[in-house]
Amino acid sequence: MINNKMIKWRKLALGVLTVTGSLLYSQQTITLKQAIEYALQNKSDALKAKLDVANAEAKILEAKAGALPKINGTANLTHNPILQESALPGDFFGAPGTIVMVPFGQKWIAGAGVQLQQALFDQQVFIGLKAAKSTKEFYQLNADLTDEQIIERVSNAYFQVFTAQEKKSTLESSFASTEKVRNVIKSLFDNGLSKKIDLDRTNVNLTNIETNIKQSNNGIAQAENALKFYMGMPIETKIQLVPADMEVTPHLLENMVNTDDRTEIKVLLKNKELLEYQKKATIAKYYPTVNLTANYNWQGLGAKFPLTNGKSNGVYWSDYSAIGLGINIPIFNGFATKAKVQQNQIEIDKLEADLKDTKLGLDQAYQNAKSQIENSLTSIENQKANVALAESVLADTKSNYQYGLATLTDLLDAENSLVQAKNNYTTAVLDYKIAEVQYYKSKGELKTYLK
């Protein structure tokens, strides 16, 4: 009875583990769009870019703090066990010609107060407020650029997985075809109509194809792992791609593109704006600053502990206040500000050079992508025709071999030619899809196209 219960519990536990494992490792069908959306939500680069945007809000609040009043409360308690004495002429105390040592101060001093500081005019603060808004815009543009980079990496990795799978499929098709040939040769050999060397060569070719299939499995696994890494997906997740995402759809190609719409250019322009604000903030050091200060204090003095005693015990409390206006006028600081302004201008000039070079590089990338798309389309059509021709040649060669009109070498060459033609077609499709990504990236339309 006990053994039966134990067996039932073991079966139940095994069933739970099996279901859990199947859920964890169940294969997910994922489209390119889903892969991109997953990456934009989970990849650390995208998450950090969003945090930078949120951090910009805190920087804006920090900049605003410079224009707002600052209020501080103070409290102090001082005990003077030995009061400092000063020597005074005795004339003040009715003892001419003598010196009298008189203590100054009180044994206990307690005080509390509130102080206010307000910047009335500070050019650096005003410029900082303007720069803070541009800083947020910069981080938002940088987040957009990060998204584009993620989309590009995920797309290319997705295409690489599909290409590796297609090449494996080609090898499996070749293996099945060669295996049929081997069976025909074996049948001929068994009937004394074929040579043993032909059978051995075919078996060797089968083994080589099988080895290539095993190697392609490793290549597919590595390509899938790379894709999942770029997506921010757990490596152990099983995924299946959608062949429709590899379909070739010709596009109407434009002759020119406006690089000012590119996120890379927008980021550089916003960075230039920030550098110009930095220069203005440095120049602002030439301007005077005006600050308002005000304070109110309450103080207690006496020979006894002031917090628990009043006037009746010799402790006297009084309040006092002050309001001040301070003006700081910079006159000469050894040309430090002038040197800093020159450094700021050099940084702006360097960014201008980067901007010019980046625009040139983007124009080049656009023309290269455009040419690659055109070449890939031509190559795809040629390779498609070449695959059809190779299939026809292989079929004719198989027929001729069976009738003794072709050698085994001709047959194996025809099979290898078909494999090569199919791989060339797959590579042409991959080149086209990668060029397509680069084309829309160069136009600044990558996010809208692939999302």
Contact 289, 362 (CB under 8 A): no
pLDDT in tens, 158-195: 999 999 999 999 999 989 988 888 888 888 888 887 78
Asked whether residue 92 carries a pLDDT value surpassing 80, the answer given is no
Residues 260 and 353 in one domain: yes
Half-sphere exposure of 119 (CA within 13 A, CB side): 14
Q: How confident is the model at residue 250 (pLDDT cuts 50, 70, 90)?
A: confident
**260 is written with which tokens?**
């000012």
62 domain-assigned: yes
Token pair 């070719």 is found at 205
Can you give the CATH number for the domain in which 75 is found? Answer: 2.20.200
Please give the Cα distance from 430 to 35 (Å, whole number).
Answer: 18
Please give the Cα distance from 56 to 62 (Å, whole number).
Answer: 10
172 domain-assigned: yes
**106 is written with which tokens?**
């009180």
- Residue 404, by phi and psi: left (phi above 0), alpha (psi -120 to 50) or beta? left
Please give the Cα distance from 389 to 424 (Å, whole number).
Answer: 13
Taking the CA atoms of the chain, what radius of gyration do you get in angstroms? 41
Residues 184 and 311 in one domain: no
Residues 148 and 211 in one domain: yes
Report CA-CA distances (Å) from 277 to 54, 142, 214, 284, 402.
Answer: 21, 19, 60, 10, 83
Q: Which of 306, 329, 352 is the last residue of a domain?
A: 329
Q: Which of 329, 360, 391 is the last residue of a domain?
A: 329
Residues 356 and 426 in one domain: yes
Please give the Cα distance from 375 to 327 (Å, whole number).
Answer: 71
Which is nearest to 295 in space by CA: 262, 335, 324? 324
**342 is written with which tokens?**
């020159």
pLDDT score at 308: 87
Residues 325 and 451 in one domain: no
Q: Give mean pLDDT, residues 427-435.
A: 92
Residues 245 and 131 in one domain: yes
Residues 300 and 393 in one domain: no
Q: Which of 277, 310, 329 is the last residue of a domain?
A: 329
9 domain-assigned: no
Please give the Cα distance from 46 to 142 (Å, whole number).
Answer: 10
Residues 248 and 375 in one domain: yes
Asked whether residue 17 carries a pLDDT value surpassing 50, the answer given is no
Q: How confident is the model at residue 451 (pLDDT cuts 50, 70, 90)?
A: low
**438 is written with which tokens?**
């680069």
378 domain-assigned: yes
Number of domains in the chain: 2
Which is nearest to 320 in space by CA: 118, 113, 117, 116? 113
Residues 344 and 298 in one domain: no
10 domain-assigned: no
Token pair 């199919």 is found at 422
Asked whether residue 11 carries a pLDDT value surpassing 60, the answer given is no
pLDDT score at 5: 45
Q: Give mean pLDDT, residues 275-279.
A: 94
Element (H, E) at 378: helix 336-402
Residues 74 and 156 in one domain: no
Residues 221 and 140 in one domain: yes
Residues 177 and 324 in one domain: no
353 domain-assigned: yes
Q: Which domain holds residue 292?
A: 69-81+93-121+288-329
